Amino acid sequence: MTTASAEKSAPWIYALLAILVVLPFIADLMLPLGTAVWVVYILAAAVSFFAWRQEAPIIVAVVSTILIVIGYFLAPSGVSESLAQINRSLCVATIWVLAATGFAFIRNKTEVRRQEWLQAGQVGLASRIAGEQTIEQLSDNVLDYLTSFLGAQSAAIFIGKGATFCRKASFGVPDDAPVPQSVAIGDGLIGQVAKDGKTITLSAVPENYLYVGSALGRAVPRNLLMFAAEDNGVINAVLEFGFLKDIDRDGAALVERLSPMIGIAVRSVEYRDSLRDLLEETREQAAELQAQSDEMRAANDELEAQSRSL
């Protein structure tokens, strides 16, 4: 689960923080000055550690500080003002120490979750591309896994062959969609990625690129992610993903890590295909040589028989 999905999965944290900040302020307006309702602000700062947004502790600290100051002026009379100032100053200082600690804690927690997600993507893809596969099987497995992991709705993979990249597989693309079967290096966005190897994210999707389709219709995706798969500086594949939603901010970082894995896998398949062709050619040549040898042996036997008869 990415950081973004973690944020969406715990909205109760932010509701609880709002309650813990508003309640002591309301109590401050009703109880005499000196009542330690401001302790709840410290509790809110501590609870903010469970949020996934690293700015949450800072926001809690800012809002709490403002409400503590307002509450000081609006609270009914109670203890001496100097004692109340000291208590509230200590409270504000404690809140800001917790805010700074919480900011660093959430940042580190988010980075750990991000690294776990990136590693899970690498491990998962490695398991799908392992073993002996044809280029079509490899292309299908790569697209099937990455569309699910990235949350894409459509995808296509173009494998390099000379100066042309041919579409070997697609996912979620209607058969009649005007998506090219092959692209020359430097031609369009896909060709540009094949040329310079740079990752491209696009929010204004042009025509004749990926489409998302089903039996009920088709549509142009809202966002595109295109990247090259390369091995030892050689680009041998270009992948294109279409999204109906915003692209996860870690998606580009993930495909940068996956690029050499896919590149090596494509190169391995091409080497195996080349080796298979060479073995088949060698086998045919060996059979041909054997046939020629048999013909020569037969000719020699015939010559020997003729010489004897003479």
Three-state DSSP class for residue 229: strand
Under 8 Å CB-to-CB from 199, ≥6 apart: which residues?
Answer: 193, 225, 226, 227, 228, 252, 255, 256
Q: In terms of Cα–Cα distance, which of 129, 115, 42, 33 is closest to 79?
A: 33
Contact 54, 99 (CB under 8 A): no
pLDDT of residue 209: 63
Q: In terms of Cα–Cα distance, which of 71, 76, 74 is closest to 88?
A: 71
pLDDT of residue 179: 77
pTM, rounded to two decimals: 0.75
Residues of the chain short of pLDDT 50, as ranges, are 1, 9, 215-216
Under 8 Å CB-to-CB from 85, ≥6 apart: which residues?
Answer: 72
- Residues 51-82 pLDDT 10s: 988 999 999 999 999 999 999 888 888 778 88
pLDDT of residue 283: 82
Half-sphere exposure of 92 (CA within 13 A, CB side): 16
- C-alpha to C-alpha distance for 94 and 167, rounded to whole angstroms: 60
262: which 2 tokens?
């896919």
Under 8 Å CB-to-CB from 175, ≥6 apart: which residues?
Answer: none
pLDDT of residue 215: 45
